[in-house]
Amino acid sequence: MKNGDFSRVILVVLDGVGVGALPDAMNYGDKNANTLLHVAEAVGGIDLPNLQRLGLGNICQVPGLEPTPQPEAAWGKMTEISPGKDTTTGHWELAGLETVESFASFPDGFPPEIIALFQQQTGLEPIGNIAASGTDIIRDLGEEHVRSGRPIVYTSVDSVFQIAAHEEVIPPVELYNICRKLRPVLDTYRIGRIIARPFVGTSAENFSRTHRRHDFSMPPFAPTVLDQLVVAGFPVVGIGKIFDIFTGRGISSSQSIVDNADGMKKTVEVLGNTEKGLVFVNLVDFDMLYGHRNDADGFARALIEFDSWLPQLQGVMGEDDLLLLTADHGCDPTMPGTDHTREYVPVLAWHKQLQTGCRLGVRNSFRDIAATTAGALGPPWHTGESFVDLL
């Protein structure tokens, strides 16, 4: 099909589903990372028949996911040219922006000047200030937080300033207001996201995070393809944390989700009442629930769940809809630590009129998704290389 031949693009980001270490992965401590391969190996092979039909096994050969002689989708993988391996950088590049200066990270905790700014802005003295797993830190410091009322501040090797608070101590609305106060202050330090992490429970044994998490990102430094689409009259619907990642810029409407299943359900619902434009979906469970928690079994179950749902999505798509499946980084649950991994990401492109799939090769940048999205719908775009003409 040609430029402008599509009415809708459904862009689904399988958060954290990388397909092998990038050439510079050793600089990030990720030399041998391969999320999809290692998840499959950990569970003794993985059966993803619908993704296999599209050509996922042709991108990354893993146990149980054999290459397909004639994939139904165009298939390939993409290189991240921006430095880093965080959610914001990955999504911004998918939307057409190359980040030249990486976001700052503080794997040893935040320096005194940042903590002093936190206290100045909020009037609160935090506890924690370490790099830690979110579930571990509420187990270790949650009871002290409940006793003292002091919020828990923590980070990781990614560019995040996370604030955990029990919902009965600091209600979510108040926690969000704290994050909003901090956002312009922490822009100076290039901290990619401030994340509110509400939790509930009565003791360390049963503290658990709720679904009222909220991300407060730095705003994109330049217009993205999302802005371009909206200006051209194409609605952009964000599902999941898309609105947060882009601070609402270039988003016509958005749907928050509870988990992958809810995100998949809402994607189908949105397609029922959106006639044209971009439906941009992030499914975060792969990363948040399983990659960061070193849970390869759970990661595999989430992939199987998505694969089982895929025919339903394809069934509600129209003749002039384009489906793009990709990821924003890796999150290999078998690697040391609990953080993202610097990896290639898959790309699968499918529509109902595609007679046979084709090889997209190794794309030079995630920005090819922005170029292809704009090319499919018609508006001009200036970064990346569109592969619409191969479809």
Domains of the chain (ranges plus CATH)? 8-100+219-390 (3.40.720.10), 112-217 (3.30.70.1250)
Distance from C-alpha of 382 to C-alpha of 60, rounded to nearest angstrom:
30
| pTM across the whole model | 0.92
Residue 69 pLDDT class (50, 70, 90 cuts): very high
Are 316 and 272 in contact by the 8 Å Cβ rule? The answer is: yes
Residue 67 pLDDT class (50, 70, 90 cuts): very high
Average pLDDT over every residue of 76-95: 96
- Look at residue 289 in the predicted model and tell me its pLDDT: 93
Distance from C-alpha of 98 to C-alpha of 346, rounded to nearest angstrom:
18
Model confidence at 106: pLDDT above 80: yes
Residue 156 pLDDT class (50, 70, 90 cuts): confident
- Look at residue 116 in the predicted model and tell me its pLDDT: 97
Residue-wise pLDDT tens digits, 160-197: 999 999 999 999 999 999 999 999 999 999 999 999 99
Residue-wise pLDDT tens digits, 341-390: 999 999 999 999 998 899 999 999 999 999 999 999 999 999 999 999 99
Q: Burial-class residue 116 by CB neighbours within 10 Å (0-12, 13-18, 19+).
A: exposed
Are 138 and 206 in contact by the 8 Å Cβ rule? The answer is: no
Average pLDDT over every residue of 253-257: 95
Average pLDDT over every residue of 270-298: 96
- Look at residue 387 in the predicted model and tell me its pLDDT: 97
Residues of the chain with pLDDT > 70, as a percent, come to 100
Beta strand 74-78 with 345-350 is antiparallel
Model confidence at 133: pLDDT above 90: no
- Look at residue 110 in the predicted model and tell me its pLDDT: 97
Cβ contacts of residue 39 below 8 Å, gap of 6+?
Answer: 46, 296, 299, 300, 303, 332, 333, 334
- Look at residue 131 in the predicted model and tell me its pLDDT: 92
Model confidence at 329: pLDDT above 90: yes
Model confidence at 42: pLDDT above 90: yes
Q: Which residue has the higher pLDDT, 101 or 96?
A: 96
Model confidence at 157: pLDDT above 80: no
- Look at residue 391 in the predicted model and tell me its pLDDT: 94
Residue-wise pLDDT tens digits, 208-248: 999 899 999 999 999 999 999 999 999 999 999 999 999 99
